[in-house]
Amino acid sequence: MAAVCQPRRALVEIPAPQPKIAARMRRSYLEILSARMAPSPPPRGRSAAASTKRVPSLDLPIAGLWTGRLEEQCEKMDEHHNPLSNQQLVQLIRSLILVEQSQEPRILASDLKYLQEDLQLKKANVYRSIPYSRFGSNRDAHCYRKAYPHLVAFKVSCQEWGQVLLRNEDWDAVLEHTLMAWRYTSELPQWDTTSHNALREQCYSILAANCLTALQHYHPEPSRGRELLRRLRTSRLHSQSIVPCIQELQRIMGCADDSSMDAK
């Protein structure tokens, strides 16, 4: 029996692809983003003025200039120093305010309250920075590292304000500031490691140098001289750096030695 051959079916012809319709083409992400960021045309009529008042302008060249300057200063600071904490920024702003006030010498000549408050704040910040919840000593190296930035701020305050008073040639205020800062320096914490007390000795040396410079230009009255000499001798209990100042004041007052002055 012969096999029955079925006729082969013709393949269906595939039509040519139709061109895409332009209205239905998908836009790329960049095209959509650029279209959204493009400025829209301003409205017409009364609504234009109203929309202008309601929407604030984002074009702030002054703010951008300030931002650029701040970023530049921060980059320079980061190159050499660690970023400042909030407490250190408050100290910096307060110091800048005091520097602005120092432009008026009569304020400092009449009242040293501002300088005393500044020293009191710097000393308090030193003690606030020391962690007291410790099993060991709170005067060890770890606590010293915590208090070190505030110790440096205290030293800078002693140095800078002494220089301001010297430039104003207010010699009696220099002596008062020296004795006042000397007392606050003696109240700073004593550290277990001897080398960590170097900042305290540096403060003593700075204050003694300011005091000696003032005594070289200042000749107090006898009553004022005796009072200063008594206070300087008391300061000698904290550091021997004040000895040249005592000797200079004795020379000014014509005292041969300490015994002659004690007799008075």
Residues 144, 117: contact at Cβ < 8 Å? Answer: no
- Give me the tens of pLDDT residue by residue for the chain, a chain 264 residues long: 555 666 666 565 666 666 655 555 555 545 655 555 555 555 555 544 444 444 333 333 333 433 444 455 445 444 444 566 666 666 666 666 655 555 554 454 446 888 899 999 999 999 999 988 767 788 889 899 999 999 999 999 999 889 989 998 989 999 999 999 999 999 999 999 999 999 999 999 999 999 999 999 998 899 999 999 999 999 999 999 999 999 999 999 886 444 444 434
Question: How far lies 94's CA from each of 35, 77, 203, in Å?
Answer: 49, 19, 20
Residues 159, 206: contact at Cβ < 8 Å? Answer: yes
Res 94: pLDDT? 63
Res 65: pLDDT? 39
Handedness of CA 229, 232, 236, 239 (dihedral sign): negative
Res 73: pLDDT? 47
Residue with tokens 């600071």: 77
Res 88: pLDDT? 66
Res 62: pLDDT? 35
Res 137: pLDDT? 83
Domain residue ranges of the chain, discontinuous segments joined by +: 85-263
Count of other CB atoms within 10 angstroms of residue 238: 15
Res 80: pLDDT? 47
Angle at 241 between CA 236 and CA 242, to 5 degrees: 50
3-state SS of the chain: helix, strand, coil percent to 5?
65, 0, 35
For 85-263, CATH number?
1.20.58.1590
